[in-house]
């Protein structure tokens, strides 16, 4: 039995009481809205067959999969030659399962396996951890939660609108106002690539455009020229991309190609969004936005905080072919993902967590002797029955020790039971912050919390 | 890219909408009560260092740990000799992390790592999945949830009482009445072992006693005699164990040794429990109960369903030394664990899940044309704003297709928008079960759900 000082694997975290309470607060608001919008929950196992995971995230993704050693005498299926061929080859002989890398591939697997029972459109949400053997750094962990909602089997533009409203409702519930939902459409990016003569290099072109914020216009232009872009068109396209006026922008794109799906869908999208203008939706068209272009095929989303320097806190988009990787074509859909860790960081920085949620308890009962402790046992149960987070110091020890504990767990109130309190039925209630105290009956105490 | 039909690893499960909703329902009731009783949440990572896990669950447990292959060129730390020594030896060279096997060892690790910041008594709850490479069978899975609550750093008997009340409150909230909390005390079992002359064989003795239900008195007596038990005492002890009257039973044990900690604590326990007799607590002393005896040192609990044939649905007990495995002695405590899968099975069998929780949505909005769909977009958002799980069929398709979908997702109500409805502001509401329909205003519809 090892008695060495225990530690955590690198890139993983414990969440103690305060952090857990704050994380739960965010998750519950997200979940509540997912449910309100008609999404139902899916949970998939942490372990998937490697045949399900491998090849779905590119070569780099394959490297980052956590592989699980087969149980028992795992070498029995391997030969010395397998060993000599090295790690990559051997692992196919000694490992059949891996940890889930995201929630999308397990979702696709679920849809394929249950395609005959699922009613389409199918709206599912999934809030679970994922694992990646990435190099840990500030803000990047090897275990982290994803909070995804997807609608599959429907192409109507209302879905794009609905998910935008969902962002809004979640952030509204979190009292997080400093954000902007950025929107773009892959077909517009491809049109622009075509326009500058880079039809065959649309992905590298958009990857350059995506850097606009970071490296500036001049460098982007240089890079696009280096890709072979048409120098007579590039400035026109850059002017367009940085246009702030949405209508002007869409009209210009339309003037390049008025049958472009991206323009048509975005016009429909913004027109529908306009029905909800009294909600002050924070939505912005940003042609430089280019995320997940190998996966998304239509509109793309990214949510960014506006007053805190940080990358995107949510993302998403429409895809044509969720389940093609498993041989089932034609399942299109749209999905979004909330980045729990980053939302947490933004809310923490902006002080948006209500104080109450990190209160482990609302009132702690203290006592002077065994008799008072006994009495406290029924008091604490009365308070809990009234829905109050109440606790009782569980042993008859010196009151000073109990007060020290009350301070440590930062209870806002203490209820003190002495012999007088027992006979009068009026208990001393101490506000632990102000130090004020006064006698109160149980009914009054319940009112104090519930009133 | 593999296009073969995807599958799930053996012993793991997907939880689709209905099962997830039911599981969430149980978890939320448990969590709510944990919080009400002053427990705060801990979350630990799925992966732990193998040095943390190994040797904590016995040899059999070590075999059941899921080990994770080191990332990258994992063979670089192994030699051909390591390979030749076989699976067990090689794994120490190519795997440093494993999946958590239970929630107790990670909790102990957390306490040791944070011993200076934690206020004791420390009440933590933890609801997370664990993984065991066990042979899958009916009711036994390789990934399953544990729902644990522990109080560490307090020896007061009130803790034992409190956890009993917590069982009661959780099952009360779940409307699950058919259960019994069985109680025993390790010190009493040891006293009885001593009494029949098996002081040094107390663990095997109690393991035999534990079989009473299954194999019957006669066989238990034979087995105890085979262990070397004193034949003149064994019948007396068996008579005692099957005594149904609690006071008589405790008095008899007391007559054997009136300084036995077990008797003293149980007397104190039942006396305190008596304060809450109006709650009809279902608690029974059962001297044949013997669980986790290598770990528990005081009172032990087991909760069993009474009308469904099944093993225990909860367990727990007091332990002396949570963190000794990590070199920190003297941290005693008491903990209980709710078995989510089994509680689920009992509730399903007894039909205790409220119908409402598995309703994905409460009302689905259908429409006849694009114009009606547009109108539905603001209606659905009004209903959601009122806290109703409302959804809108997201595309303008034939109404019959929409009704088929409404049936499939089993929405209790449908709201049908036609041109007349749009102009009158009275929408046709159809009760999908009875088929009844009548026109209603939005306010009336909201009342229908909230009233």
Mutate to test the interface with B, among A1, A4, A9, A33 (most CBs of B within 10 A): A9
**CB–CB contact B87 A72 (8 Å):** yes
**Looking at beta carbons, which residues of chain B come within 8 Å of A113?**
5-8, 14
Tokens standing for residue A25: 């607060």
Residue B234 to residue B257: CA distance in whole angstroms:
17
Give the pLDDT confidence score for residue A109 in this predicted structure. 97
Residue A426 to residue B397: CA distance in whole angstroms:
67
- Minimum distance, in Å, between the CA of residue A34 and any CA atom of chain B: 10
Residue B62 to residue B306: CA distance in whole angstroms:
34
CA proximity to B35, closest of A361, A29, A405, A412? A361
**CB–CB contact B87 A97 (8 Å):** no
Location of structure tokens 């429909």: A268
DSSP assignment of B125-176: EEEEEEE--PPPBTTB-SEEEEEEEEEES---THHHHHHHHHHHHHHHHTT-
Give the pLDDT confidence score for residue B239 in this predicted structure. 92
pLDDT tens for chain A, residues 1 to 451: 445 689 999 999 999 999 999 999 999 999 999 999 999 999 999 999 999 999 999 888 999 999 999 998 999 989 999 999 999 999 999 999 999 999 999 999 999 999 999 999 999 999 999 999 999 998 899 999 999 999 999 999 999 999 999 999 999 999 999 999 999 999 999 999 999 999 999 989 999 999 998 899 999 999 999 999 999 999 999 999 988 889 999 999 999 999 999 999 999 999 999 999 999 899 999 999 987 777 899 999 999 999 998 889 999 999 998 899 898 998 999 999 999 999 999 999 999 999 999 999 999 999 999 999 999 999 999 999 999 999 999 999 999 999 999 999 999 999 999 999 999 999 999 999 999 999 999 999 999 998 7
Is A128:A103 a contact under the CB 8 Å cutoff? yes
Name the CA dihedral angle for B152, B154, B156, B159, rounded to a multiple of 10 degrees: -30
Tokens standing for residue A26: 């965010």
Mutate to test the interface with B, among A46, A69, A327, A340 (most CBs of B within 10 A): A69
Largest distance between two CA atoms of chain A: 93
In the three-class reduction of DSSP (H, G, I as helix; E, B as strand; rest coil), residue B24 is classed as: helix
H-helix or E-strand spanning residue A32: helix A17-36
- Residue A273, CA atoms < 13 Å, CB-side half-sphere: 23
Residue in B closest to A380 by C-alpha: B37
Give the pLDDT confidence score for residue B244 in this predicted structure. 84
> CA triplet A192, A195, A198: central angle to 5 degrees?
85
Residue in A closest to B160 by C-alpha: A394
**Looking at beta carbons, which residues of chain B come within 8 Å of A51?**
2, 4, 6
**CB–CB contact A45 B83 (8 Å):** no
**Looking at beta carbons, which residues of chain A come within 8 Å of B154?**
394-395
- Residue A261, CA atoms < 13 Å, CB-side half-sphere: 11
**CB–CB contact B3 A325 (8 Å):** yes
In the three-class reduction of DSSP (H, G, I as helix; E, B as strand; rest coil), residue B363 is classed as: strand
> CA triplet A237, A241, A247: central angle to 5 degrees?
110
**CB–CB contact B17 A110 (8 Å):** no
Mutate to test the interface with B, among A11, A23, A71, A82 (most CBs of B within 10 A): A71
Q: What is the pLDDT of residues A204-247, one digit of tens each?
A: 999 999 999 889 999 999 999 999 999 999 999 999 998 888 99
**CB–CB contact B326 A17 (8 Å):** no
Residue in B closest to A275 by C-alpha: B378
Residue in B closest to A73 by C-alpha: B87
- Minimum distance, in Å, between the CA of residue B202 and any CA atom of chain A: 23
**CB–CB contact B4 A51 (8 Å):** yes
Torsion sign (Cα): B83, B88, B92, B98: positive
**CB–CB contact A156 B72 (8 Å):** no
Instruction: Write the residue in A76, A97, A409 that is nearest to B9 by C-beta.
Output: A97
**CB–CB contact A46 B143 (8 Å):** yes
Bridge partners of B319? B296, B333
**Strand-strand pairing, B122-131 and B143-152:** antiparallel
Residue B35 to residue B29: CA distance in whole angstroms:
10
In the three-class reduction of DSSP (H, G, I as helix; E, B as strand; rest coil), residue A5 is classed as: coil
**CB–CB contact A142 B47 (8 Å):** yes
E strands, A59-185, are 67-69, 95-99, 122-131, 143-152, 179-185
Location of structure tokens 């326009």: A195
**Which strands make up the sheet holding A390-392, listed edge to edge?**
A390-392, A363-367, A413-417, A426-431, A437-441
Is B323:B108 a contact under the CB 8 Å cutoff? yes
**CB–CB contact A378 B276 (8 Å):** yes
Location of structure tokens 């997370």: B128
Residue B398 to residue B418: CA distance in whole angstroms:
13
Is B223:B208 a contact under the CB 8 Å cutoff? yes
**Strand-strand pairing, A363-367 and A390-392:** parallel
Q: Which residues contact B226 (CB under 8 A, 6 or more apart)?
A: none
Residue B420 to residue A211: CA distance in whole angstroms:
52
H-helix or E-strand spanning residue A304: strand A299-305
Is B233:B197 a contact under the CB 8 Å cutoff? yes
Name the CA dihedral angle for A15, A17, A22, A26, rounded to a multiple of 10 degrees: 70
**CB–CB contact B45 A14 (8 Å):** yes
Q: What is the pLDDT of residues A276-333, one digit of tens each?
A: 999 989 999 999 998 777 789 999 999 999 999 888 999 999 999 889 989 899 899 9
Residue A419 to residue A38: CA distance in whole angstroms:
55
**Looking at beta carbons, which residues of chain B come within 8 Å of A119?**
405, 408-409
H-helix or E-strand spanning residue A372: helix A370-385
- Minimum distance, in Å, between the CA of residue B284 and any CA atom of chain A: 21
Instruction: Write the residue in B4, B80, B381 that is nearest to A276 by C-beta.
Output: B381
H-helix or E-strand spanning residue B87: helix B87-94
Instruction: Write the residue in B37, B45, B124 that is nearest to A8 by C-beta.
Output: B45
**Strand-strand pairing, A426-431 and A413-417:** antiparallel
pLDDT tens for chain B, residues 1 to 451: 445 689 999 999 999 999 999 999 999 999 999 999 999 999 999 999 999 999 999 888 999 999 999 998 999 989 999 999 999 999 999 999 999 999 999 999 999 999 999 999 999 999 999 999 999 988 899 999 999 999 999 999 999 999 999 999 999 999 999 999 999 999 999 999 999 999 999 989 999 999 998 899 999 999 999 999 999 999 999 999 988 889 999 999 999 999 999 999 999 999 999 999 999 899 999 999 987 777 899 999 999 999 998 889 999 999 988 899 898 998 999 999 999 999 999 999 999 999 999 999 999 999 999 999 999 999 999 999 999 999 999 999 999 999 999 999 999 999 999 999 999 999 999 999 999 999 999 999 999 998 7
In the three-class reduction of DSSP (H, G, I as helix; E, B as strand; rest coil), residue A101 is classed as: coil
Is A125:A151 a contact under the CB 8 Å cutoff? no
């Amino acid at each position: 039995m090892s008695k060495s000082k225990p530690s955590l694997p690198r890139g993983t975290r414990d969440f103690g009481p305060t952090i857990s309470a704050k994380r739960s607060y965010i998750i519950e608001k997200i979940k509540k809205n997912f449910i309100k919008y008609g999404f139902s929950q899916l949970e998939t196992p942490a372990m998937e067959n490697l045949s399900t995971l491998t090849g779905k995230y590119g070569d780099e993704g394959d490297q980052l999969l956590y592989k699980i050693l087969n149980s028992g005498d795992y070498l029995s299926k391997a030969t010395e030659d397998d060993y000599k061929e090295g790690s990559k080859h051997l692992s196919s002989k000694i490992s059949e399962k891996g940890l889930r890398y995201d929630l999308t591939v397990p979702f696709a697997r679920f849809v394929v396996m249950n395609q005959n029972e699922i009613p389409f459109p199918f709206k599912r949400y999934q809030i679970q951890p994922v694992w990646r053997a990435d190099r840990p750094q500030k803000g990047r962990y090897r275990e982290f939660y994803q909070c995804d909602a997807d609608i599959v089997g429907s192409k109507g533009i209302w879905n794009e609108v609905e998910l935008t409203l969902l962002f809004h409702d979640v952030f509204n519930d979190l009292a997080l106002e400093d954000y902007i939902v950025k929107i773009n459409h892959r077909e517009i990016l491809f049109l622009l690539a075509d326009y500058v003569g880079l039809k065959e290099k649309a992905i590298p072109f958009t990857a350059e455009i995506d850097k606009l914020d970071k490296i500036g216009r001049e460098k982007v232009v240089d890079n696009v020229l280096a890709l072979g872009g048409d120098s007579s068109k590039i400035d026109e396209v850059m002017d367009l991309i940085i246009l702030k006026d949405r209508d002007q922008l869409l009209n210009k794109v339309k003037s390049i190609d008025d049958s472009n799906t991206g323009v048509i869908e975005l016009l429909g999208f913004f027109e529908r969004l306009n029905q909800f203008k009294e909600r002050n939706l924070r939505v912005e068209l940003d042609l430089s936005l280019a995320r997940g272009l190998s996966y998304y095929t239509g509109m793309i989303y990214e949510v960014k905080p506006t007053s805190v320097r940080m990358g995107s806190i949510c993302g998403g988009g429409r895809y044509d072919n969720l389940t093609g990787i498993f041989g089932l074509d034609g399942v299109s859909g749209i999905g979004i993902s909330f980045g729990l860790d980053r939302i947490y960081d933004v809310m923490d920085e902006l002080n948006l967590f209500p104080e109450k949620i990190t209160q482990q308890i609302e009132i702690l009962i203290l006592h002077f002797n065994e008799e008072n402790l006994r009495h406290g046992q029924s008091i604490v149960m009365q308070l809990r029955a009234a829905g109050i987070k109440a606790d009782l110091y569980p042993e008859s020890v010196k009151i000073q020790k109990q007060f020290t504990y009350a301070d440590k767990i930062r209870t806002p109130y203490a209820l003190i039971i002495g012999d007088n309190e027992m006979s009068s039925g009026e208990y001393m209630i101490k506000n632990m912050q102000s130090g004020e105290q006064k006698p109160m009956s149980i009914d009054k105490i319940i009112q104090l919390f519930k009133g």
